[in-house]
Amino acid sequence: IHLNYQTNLPQLLFDTNPSLHLSGPGAAFAKIAAFGPIPARLPVNGFGSAADSSSASGATISFSNPPPPLGSTVDPATQTCGLAPPFCTKSRYRSIDGNCNNQQRPSWGMPQTPYGRLALYNYADGVSALTKARSGRPLPNARDVSLTLFPDRQLVDPIWNLNTQQWGQIIAHDMSLTAGVAQSPDPIDHKDPVTCCDDNGRLTADVTSNPVCAPLLIPPHDPVHAALGTQCMNFVRTSTTRDRGCTAPQAPAEPISAVTAFMDLSLVYGSSIGQADPIRARRGGRLLTTVRNGREWPPQEPNVTMTCESAQSPNEPCYLAGDIRVNQNPQLTVLQVILMREHNRIADTLAQYNPHWNDEIIFQEARRIHIAQIQHINYYEYLPILLGYENMVKNKLIYPGAPSYINDYNPGVDPSILDEHATAAFRHFHTLIRGYLKLVSENRNLQAAVRMSDWFNRPLLLELDNTFDSLARGLTVQKQSYSDQFWDTEITQFLFKRNNTFGGDLRATDIQRGRDHGLGSYIATRAACGLPAPKSFNDMLDFISQENLAVLQSLYESPDDVELVVAGSLERLVPGALAGPTFLCILTEQFYRTRVGDRYFFENGADPDTAFTPSQLQAIRKGSSMARLLCDNGDAIEAMQPRAFELISPQNKLVPCGQLPAIDLSLWQDARGHF
C-alpha cells in the first residue's frame, strides 16, 4: 500500500505559516526547536544510535524537561501517585503496567501517576479549587458555553471516514483515563458510587458534603432541560495527588490518570496485573474469549450492572477487556473486539510456527508484535490525518522510508500524557462524532442506521444477526463529521441517556473537566507553546473568526479568562491537519513524547534484546494496515479499500482482502534462538 498523504494534504504546516514555528520561549518546546532546520528526510545511513541519528540531521537532543526528583509517596496497597518498583530487571517484554519502561525513572508512564503539564496550574485557590475568572467570579456556565458555541450542524468530512473518528477514541483510551471518575452508567472506579446529580437531574445531598462533586448546572434558558425541570448533570472530580496524600500542602493538586501512558494497547491487555489476569486464556498465548454463533467475543464482565445498561436481561452481553470503557459505544466495541481477535490470530499463527513455545512466550511475543503493528498504523497511517504529514516529518514524529531502525529513544523525555492533550486537544476530536451509525452490507449498500444514544453501554447490538461486520463496514463507508465547532446532539443532548428522554452533554463535561484539572488558560497555553500570546480579545483574531470572537467576548470578562478547551476548538484548522495551531502544537508535542519516551517503541533497535530484527521490522512496516486489521478480524469481511481511514473512491477502490499486504509471521519461527 502506498500511503500518499501529500495528495490529500497538499499544504505544509510550517511552510504555509512561518509564525507557527514551535520555536518560541516555551520551555516545553525547546527540544523540538533545538532540532533547527529539519530536512524532509533523514539521511538513510543515520540510524545508528540516538547520538548518530541526531548528528546526522545536524541536531542536538536536548533534555529540556529534566526529570523531577523521585520521591512521590509510593504505596503499593493503595496505588498512590507513582508505584515504582525498587529496582528494574532487564526484560525483553513491556511490563503490563509500564513499570521500568524508563529504567532511571521506573514509574514514568505508569497508571495512577499524574498527567503531565505544559502550562502552569490555574486553580482558583492556587491549590485545587475549580478555575474561576480572574475577578474571582465564576466562569461562564459550562452548559451555556456548549449551547452557545458548539451547536449541531451536520457538516461532514470530504475525505476521512468514520473509522478515523473511531480509531481516535481507541488511541485516546490507550493513553489516559481520569482516575476515580465513573465512565457510565454507574461509577466503576469507586467502591462507593458518587452521585452529585441523580438520574432525574436533581442535586443530591452529596453536592454539599462531598468535595468531589462539581455538577454541571442547567442554565434557566436551556432549550431542552429548562422545560423538564432538570437542575443538573452529574460530574465527579478526578482523583488527584492531593486526594491520595502525595503532594505537599501548598502544592497544586495533580490529576491522576488510571492507565499506562504508553501506546501499548493497555486497552486490550489491561493496565495492571489485576486487569490482565482475568482476560488471559492461559492456553496457547491467547486472550480469553466466549464463542457465540461460531464467533469469538470478549468474556462476560462479572459486574454487569456496574458496567452495562443491560436493563432488558441480565444475560445480555457485557464485555470484559483491558479497559473499562470497552462497552461505551458500539463502534468503540467493534474495534476492541477486532483488536482482541488480532491478538489471538497472531498467537495462533506463532504457535503453529513454534510448537515448542509455552503459553507465556506466545502471549508476550504476540502482544509485542500486535503493539508494534498498532504503533505503525498509528504513526504512519492514522496520525498524519490529524497532525499533518509534513508536520510529523519535520518534527521527527515519523521517518518515512527509513530502511531500518530509528534509535531516538530519549530517557530524559517523560511519556506522561499532557493534561492539555487529554483534557483539551485530543478531546476536540469529539467533534468528529456522528450521532447515527450506518450498517453496511458486503456490497456496500446501506442496510440500516442506529442512533448512538440507543446503544451506549449495550454491546448486544454487535451480536445481532450480522451486525458486527455491518458496523465495521459502516465505519469505512460513512463520512466522519468535519473538524469544526459543530457537535452532534447525540453527545450534547443525549449522552448516556438510558431510559430518559434526554441525557448528558459531553462538550459541557469537557469544559468542566478543564476547570476541574485547573488547566492553564488559552493565552497561557499559547505562550507555553511558543505561539504569539494574545494581549487582548482582538489579538485572538489571528486564529479565531470575528464571529466566534464576539461570542467569546460576550461570555468571558477578560481575555485571560478564555479557556483552552473552548477557544482551542474554535481555531481555524492548520492546512493539512484537523486542528488549529494551539491544539496542533499540543498534539505534536504529545505524540513526540509518546514516541521518544517509549524504550520499547517498535522502531527502536538500540537494544538487541528488545528490538525486532531488521527483517521483522520491515515485515511490520509492510504488512500492518487498518485495512488488514478489519479484513483479518471481521466475521466475514471479504473486501476493503487499502486506505481504510479514507472513503472509497476511484483512487481508493475496494479490493479483495487477499490482495492487501499481510505481515509474514514466519519471520518469528524459531526466533527464540535470538532472544
Nearest Cα residue to 233 out of 201, 185, 204? 201
Locate cell 459505544: which residue?
329
Does 169 sit near ligand HEM (CB under 6 A)? yes
Does 509 sit near ligand HEM (CB under 6 A)? yes
Nearest Cα residue to 482 out of 159, 245, 261, 93? 159
Q: In the bound complex, what is the minimum distance in angstroms from residue 175's beta carbon to Ca ion?
A: 6
Distance CA 181, CA 238 (A): 6
Does 641 sit near ligand HEM (CB under 6 A)? no
Task: Give the number of other Cβ atoms within 10 Å of residue 60's Cβ.
Answer: 12
Concatenating the DSSP letter of every residue in 608-636 gives TTTSPPHHHHHHHHHH--HHHHHHHHSSS
- Residue 264 binding partner per list Ca ion, ligand HEM, none, with a CB distance cut-off of 5 to 8 Å that depends on partner kind: Ca ion
φ, ψ for residue 592, nearest 5 deg: -65, -50
Nearer to Ca ion, 270 or 298 (CB): 270
Task: Work out which of 119, 506, 549, 596 binds ligand HEM, going by CB under 6 A.
Answer: 506
Candidates 15-23, 34-42, 50-58, 170-178; binding stretch for ligand HEM (CB under 6 A):
170-178
Report the half-sphere exposure of 178 (CA within 13 A, side-chain side).
22
Candidates 163-171, 222-230, 574-582, 607-615; binding stretch for ligand HEM (CB under 6 A):
163-171
Cβ-proximal residue to ligand HEM, closest one: 168
Does 430 sit near ligand HEM (CB under 6 A)? yes
> Does 2 carry a binding-site annotation?
no
Q: Confirm if 540 and 580 have CB atoms less than 8 A apart.
A: no
Kindly state the cell numbers that stand for 660: 492487501
Whole-number CA gyration radius for the chain: 24
Q: In the bound complex, what is the minimum distance in angstroms from residue 600's beta carbon to Ca ion?
A: 12
Q: In the bound complex, what is the minimum distance in angstroms from residue 185's beta carbon to ligand HEM?
A: 11
Nearer to ligand HEM, 113 or 509 (CB): 509
Task: Work out which of 389, 426, 522, 601 binds ligand HEM, going by CB under 6 A.
Answer: 426
Does 95 sit near Ca ion (CB under 5 A)? no
Candidates 20-28, 214-222, 421-429, 644-652; binding stretch for ligand HEM (CB under 6 A):
421-429
List residues bridging with 217 in a β-sheet: 232
- Residue 429 binding partner per list Ca ion, ligand HEM, none, with a CB distance cut-off of 5 to 8 Å that depends on partner kind: ligand HEM
> What letter would DSSP give residue 57?
T
The number of residues making up the chain comes to 675
- How many whole angstroms from its chain centre is CA 316? 28
Does 168 sit near ligand HEM (CB under 6 A)? yes
- Residue 269 binding partner per list ligand HEM, Ca ion, none, with a CB distance cut-off of 5 to 8 Å that depends on partner kind: none
Catalytic residue among 173, 343, 421, 517: 173
Q: Is 173 a catalytic residue?
A: yes
Nearer to Ca ion, 267 or 461 (CB): 267
Q: In the bound complex, what is the minimum distance in angstroms from residue 271's beta carbon to Ca ion?
A: 7
- Residue 172 binding partner per list ligand HEM, Ca ion, none, with a CB distance cut-off of 5 to 8 Å that depends on partner kind: ligand HEM
- Residue 165 binding partner per list Ca ion, ligand HEM, none, with a CB distance cut-off of 5 to 8 Å that depends on partner kind: ligand HEM
Q: Confirm if 449 and 437 have CB atoms less than 8 A apart.
A: yes
From residue 309 to residue 328, the character string flagging contacts with ligand HEM as x (rule: CB under 6 A) and all else as - is: -------------------x
- Residue 509 binding partner per list ligand HEM, Ca ion, none, with a CB distance cut-off of 5 to 8 Å that depends on partner kind: ligand HEM
> Which residues 295-354 are close enough to bind Ca ion by CB under 5 A?
none
Cα angle: 623, vertex 628, 634; to 5 degrees: 150
Distances (CA, A) of 675 to 12, 355, 365: 42, 17, 11
Task: Work out which of 113, 195, 230, 329 binds ligand HEM, going by CB under 6 A.
Answer: 329
> Which residues 166-195 are close enough to bind Ca ion by CB under 5 A?
174
Does 266 sit near Ca ion (CB under 5 A)? yes
Nearer to ligand HEM, 233 or 647 (CB): 233
- HEC string of 451-467 equals EHHHCCCCCHHHHCCCH
φ, ψ for residue 434, nearest 5 deg: -105, 140
Nearest Cα residue to 301 out of 280, 316, 285? 316
- Residue 468 binding partner per list ligand HEM, Ca ion, none, with a CB distance cut-off of 5 to 8 Å that depends on partner kind: none
Locate cell 501529500: which residue?
6
Does 298 sit near ligand HEM (CB under 6 A)? no
> Which residues 171-190 are close enough to bind ligand HEM by CB under 6 A?
172, 176-178, 181
Does 165 sit near ligand HEM (CB under 6 A)? yes
Candidates 255-263, 301-309, 427-435, 470-478; binding stretch for Ca ion (CB under 5 A):
255-263
- Residue 540 binding partner per list Ca ion, ligand HEM, none, with a CB distance cut-off of 5 to 8 Å that depends on partner kind: none
- Residue 506 binding partner per list ligand HEM, Ca ion, none, with a CB distance cut-off of 5 to 8 Å that depends on partner kind: ligand HEM
Q: In the bound complex, what is the minimum distance in angstroms from residue 377's beta carbon to ligand HEM?
A: 15
Q: In the bound complex, what is the minimum distance in angstroms from residue 417's beta carbon to ligand HEM?
A: 7
The reply to whether omega before 400 is within 30° of 0 (cis) is no
What's the one-letter identity of residue 540?
M
- Residue 174 binding partner per list ligand HEM, Ca ion, none, with a CB distance cut-off of 5 to 8 Å that depends on partner kind: Ca ion
> What letter would DSSP give residue 658?
G
Q: Confirm if 628 and 662 have CB atoms less than 8 A apart.
A: yes
Cα angle: 643, vertex 649, 655; to 5 degrees: 55
Does 97 sit near Ca ion (CB under 5 A)? no
Cβ-proximal residue to Ca ion, closest one: 266
Kindly state the cell numbers that stand for 578: 484537523
Nearest Cα residue to 385 out of 571, 587, 567? 587
List residues bridging with 440 in a β-sheet: 446
Distance CA 53, CA 35 (A): 12
Kindly state the cell numbers that stand for 396: 521527527
Kindly state the cell numbers that stand for 347: 498467537
Distance CA 670, CA 675 (A): 10
Q: In the bound complex, what is the minimum distance in angstroms from residue 426's beta carbon to ligand HEM?
A: 4
Distance CA 341, CA 343 (A): 5
Does 513 sit near ligand HEM (CB under 6 A)? yes
List residues bridging with 256 in a β-sheet: 114
| Residues in Cβ contact with 550 at an 8 Å cutoff, skipping those fewer than 6 apart | none
Task: Work out which of 141, 164, 165, 260 binds Ca ion, going by CB under 5 A.
Answer: 260
Distances (CA, A) of 318 to 22, 174, 485, 626: 45, 20, 33, 26
Does 450 sit near ligand HEM (CB under 6 A)? no
- For the chain, the distance separating the N- and C-terminal CA atoms, rounded to the nearest angstrom, is 31
| Residues in Cβ contact with 202 at an 8 Å cutoff, skipping those fewer than 6 apart | 231, 232
Does 598 sit near Ca ion (CB under 5 A)? no
From residue 473 to residue 492, the character string flagging contacts with ligand HEM as x (rule: CB under 6 A) and all else as - is: ------------------x-
Q: In the bound complex, what is the minimum distance in angstroms from residue 250's beta carbon to ligand HEM?
A: 26
Question: Which residue numbers are catalytic?
Answer: 173
Which amino acids are annotated as binding site, given as ranges? 430
| Residues engaged in binding Ca ion (CB under 5 A) | 174, 260, 262, 264, 266
| Residues engaged in binding ligand HEM (CB under 6 A) | 165, 168-169, 172, 176-178, 181, 257, 328-329, 332, 422, 426-427, 429-430, 432-433, 491, 506, 509, 513
Which amino acids are annotated as binding site for heme b, given as ranges? 430
